[in-house]
Chain A
Amino acid sequence: MPALVQLLTIFVLAIFVGFFVITRVPPLLHTPLMSGSNAISGITIIGAMLAVATPDPLSTVMGYIAIVFASINVVGGFLVTHRMLGMFKRKE
């Protein structure tokens, strides 16, 4: 049970950090914020890698599809965010 309390502590603190960090993002960048947050939510890829590495065939298949989904998020998310942010320029 203490382990669960530890995880909950991290969860709650992370939500607070999220609120403070995200409220500082200007509306100008709200679209890159969404694609960028999609990219980091691809962190599920690490769970998917562990699932592929198990002996159970069905888990392996589920893990494989999950890696595909998550890496679409990671690569697609960071890349499209990069592409968008490159367009925001100051007056020359």
Chain B
Amino acid sequence: MIDIQIKNSPLDVQVCIDYTNHRNAGGTAVFIGTVREFTKGKKVIRLEFESYEPMAIKEMKKIAEQAQEKWSTLAIAIHHRIGVLDIGDIAVVISVATPHRKAAFEACAYAIDTLKETVPIWKKEFFEDGAVWVAAHP
């Protein structure tokens, strides 16, 4: 079971957890990525995320399928938010249910690590004195 979503409105963690509720699950790992106030000592005012949506959905689905194959996940939900986000807002939620806890942690870590590397979503950080596209330059 795989649920992939890109949303322009606030994410609901419980929706992801409910989706991964499974009678054979022994553990569910949930990762919640949030907007933090300081980046390298600089105060962030807000973030903006944009995505190349059809490809981002495809790439997120690929990640979920790889996790399913590698860790026999029973259900996995990956929801990513786009648009303008404020400090403390949730940018991404990943919920993974597996028969045993170790696989849930590993699959969840794999999903967020790979998402950050391959999914075409971009984050712009706004400071009091300007803005930068995150991780664009070495």
Q: Do A and B come from one complex?
A: no
Give chain A's interface residues, CB within 8 Å of chain B. none
